[in-house]
Amino acid sequence: MLALLPVFAAKVPRVPIAPGVEMPMLNFGYQKDHTAAIQIGVRGLDTALTYGDPQQKEVGKAVRDASVPRSELFVTSKIPCYPSDFQQGSPTNSTADVLHDLDMLGLGYVDLVLLHWPCDTIEGSAAAYKAMEPFLASGQAKAIGISNFNASAIEALLPLVNTKPSVNQCGFSIAGHDESTSLWGRDDITHAACRKHGIQYSAYSPLGGVTKQGTGYVLSNPTVQAVAKAQNRSAAQVAMRWVVQKGVVAVTKSDEIDHIASDLEVFDFRLTEAQMVELAAVK
C-alpha cells in the first residue's frame, strides 16, 4: 500500500526561522514509524529527551536510512528544565541533555533544539536557554528556541539571553487559543507576542488535543463539520489547515500512514476569510 501513496514533500512549504534555516510548516512527533512517513513526503520530525531514548534513536535511524539528503530533513529535539536545579541558574543539566539528545539521534547536528518548558524562575529559564547557545556556535544546532512560554515569559526572557529564540512551540488549535489556555502560551496573545518579536510560533496538538473537551470535540463541532463539507475535506484537514493558514507551524502525529498522507494534503486548499473567522470563534 505504501508504494501506491503519492509523495507530498514538494507541497509542504517552509518558513525561515534563523539565518539559512527553514522549517517545514508541518512536522510529525511522537509516533512509531518515521521511516514510512519520510517515504511519503514528511520532512519535519519532532522528538524530545522526555520522549525517551528509543524514540530518539528511532528518529535518528529513520533520518540516517532515508533515501533523501539529510539537508532535506528537519529534526527538532527538546530538553527539559529542572526547577530545583535551575533556581540558582546552573546550566549543567541543559548542556548534558543537549549532548544526550545528539548522542541518541546520532546525526551530528539537529536543526532545532527547544527548551521544553519554563523553569521555576525566569533566571533559571535564562540559564537553561543560554546553555544551548554554544551549540549554535559549534554547528551542532542550527537553531534554538523555547516551548510552552507564554507572552509574559517571553518578554521576561528576551533581555536575559544573547540569542533570540527562533521558535516557540505551544499547544494551539481551533477552540484552544483563548485566554483560558494562556498559562502555557496556548493563546492568541502569545501568538501575537511571537509575531512582534520575530519568533516563529508553532503548534502541537493542532487538532484540538489541548482543549478541555479534546480532539473529538473539535472534529465533531458543527462549524468545523460545515466548513469541511463546503471544502470537500475532512474535519481534521480543516482543523490543521486553520492552524497553518494562520502562519503557525504545525506539529502532529499519527501511526496511520493514510492519516499522514491526509495531513500532507492540507496545503492543497485554502479556507476563505469568512471560514477562518468562523473557525476562530468556535469555543
Distance from the first to the final alpha carbon of the chain: 38
Q: Which of 82, 115, 85 is nearest to 98 (CA)?
A: 115
For residues 148 and 5, the model is more confident at: 148
What pTM value is reported for the model?
A: 0.94
168 near 194, Cβ under 8 Å? yes
Domain residue spans of the chain: 21-206+247-257
pLDDT recorded at residue 85: 47
pLDDT recorded at residue 63: 98
Residues contacting residue 175 through CB under 8 Å, at least 6 positions apart:
208, 211, 213, 217, 218, 221, 282, 283
Question: CB-hemisphere CA count at 13 Å for 232?
Answer: 2
Reduce the DSSP state of residue 132 to 3 states and report it: coil
Query: Averaged over 222-233, what is the pLDDT?
Result: 98
pLDDT recorded at residue 54: 95
Report strand pairing: 14-18 vs 21-24: antiparallel
pLDDT in tens, 172-211: 999 999 877 788 999 999 999 999 999 999 999 999 988 8
Q: How far apart are CA 7 and CA 132, in angstroms?
A: 35
pLDDT recorded at residue 213: 84
Q: How far apart are CA 31 and CA 282, in angstroms?
A: 29
Q: How far apart are CA 216 and CA 207, in angstroms?
A: 9
Determine whether 129 is an active site residue: no
pLDDT recorded at residue 87: 43
pLDDT recorded at residue 118: 94
- Whole-Å CA distances, 20 to 45, 127, 143: 19, 26, 10
Instruction: Give the H or E element holding residue 36.
Output: helix 34-39
pLDDT recorded at residue 234: 98
pLDDT in tens, 2-52: 444 555 655 899 999 999 999 999 999 998 899 999 999 999 999 999 999
Q: How far apart are CA 93 and CA 201, in angstroms?
A: 26
Q: How far apart are CA 30 and CA 109, in angstroms?
A: 20
Task: Determine the CATH number of domain 21-206+247-257.
Answer: 3.20.20.100
Residues contacting residue 176 through CB under 8 Å, at least 6 positions apart:
186, 205, 208, 210, 211, 218
DSSP E strands: which ranges in 121-175? 144-147, 167-171
DSSP E strands: which ranges in the chain? 14-18, 21-24, 26-28, 44-46, 74-79, 112-115, 144-147, 167-171, 200-204, 249-252
Amino acid at 212: K
Q: Which of 169, 171, 157 is nearest to 128 (CA)?
A: 157
pLDDT in tens, 69-125: 999 999 999 999 875 444 444 566 899 999 999 999 999 999 999 999 999 889 999
Grid cell in block for residue 2: 505504501
Grid cell in block for residue 83: 526547577
pLDDT recorded at residue 5: 53
pLDDT recorded at residue 75: 98
Residue with cell 509575531: 195
Choosing from 30, 51, 82, 217, which is the catalytic residue? 51
Q: Which of 17, 11, 15, 2 is nearest to 165 (CA)?
A: 17
Q: Is the pLDDT of residue 280 over 80?
A: yes
Q: How far apart are CA 103 and CA 6, in angstroms?
A: 33
